[in-house]
Amino acid sequence: MKIKLNTESIRYITLFESMTGALVKDCIVSDGKLLFIVREGQAGMAIGRNGANIKNLEKVLKRKIEIIEFSKEPIKFLQNIMRPLDVKNAYISERSDGKKILYFSSSRKNPLLLSKLKKVKFLLSKYFGIDGVSLV
């Protein structure tokens, strides 16, 4: 899938990559926060020892930073988005009308779950064309 970036996102990505050394797949600006999707295996590098890279970026950009590691597998990407919450029994089903729905359960009912669920729906739709997400 091709990702379109605006000038603002490109500037954030350039700064992020130069400060962390991690490669960024996408940058999403929303509600005064920056969400960076980094390539597989690069989340640790992006975060830095004891979160140093994130702290430095937040100081420089004066915004909250969130990092999610990308995966080519939708279920693994779901698990990365949902961290620190557990994901169990995740599977994708295609309905008779052709829509793809991802079903999963989480062991902990947590206020964080609702905000993560919105992010899951947006990101899985964007990268994998998944039409819906259902928590069972």
Mean of pLDDT values over 6-29? 93
Are 59 and 11 contained in the same domain? yes
User: Looking at residue 63, what is its pLDDT?
Assistant: 93
Whether 84 maps to a domain, the answer reads yes
Looking at 69, 94, 122, the residue that finishes a domain is 69
Same domain, 63 and 81: no
For residues 88 and 106, give the distance between their C-alpha atoms in angstroms, rounded to a whole number.
6
Both 96 and 126 in a single domain? yes
Predicted confidence at residue 66, as pLDDT, reads: 95
Q: Are residues 58 and 81 in the same domain?
A: no
Average pLDDT over residues 40-47: 95
How much is the average pLDDT of 4-13?
Answer: 87
pLDDT of residue 8: 87
> What is the domain extent for residue 90?
74-135
pLDDT given at position 108: 66
Name residues whose C-beta falls within 8 Å of residue 121's C-beta, 6 or more positions apart in sequence.
132, 133
The enclosing domain of 79 has a CATH number of 3.30.300.20
Total-model pTM: 0.89
Residue 46 · residue 19 · CB < 8 Å: no
Please give the Cα distance from 30 to 121 (Å, whole number). 15
In a domain, 2, yes or no: no
Give 6 or 40, the one with higher predicted confidence: 40
pLDDT in tens, 67-92: 999 999 999 999 999 988 888 899 99
Mean pLDDT of all residues in 6-24: 93
Q: Which residues pair with 93 in a beta bridge?
A: 101
Total domains present in the chain: 2
Q: How confident is the model at residue 4 (pLDDT cuts 50, 70, 90)?
A: confident
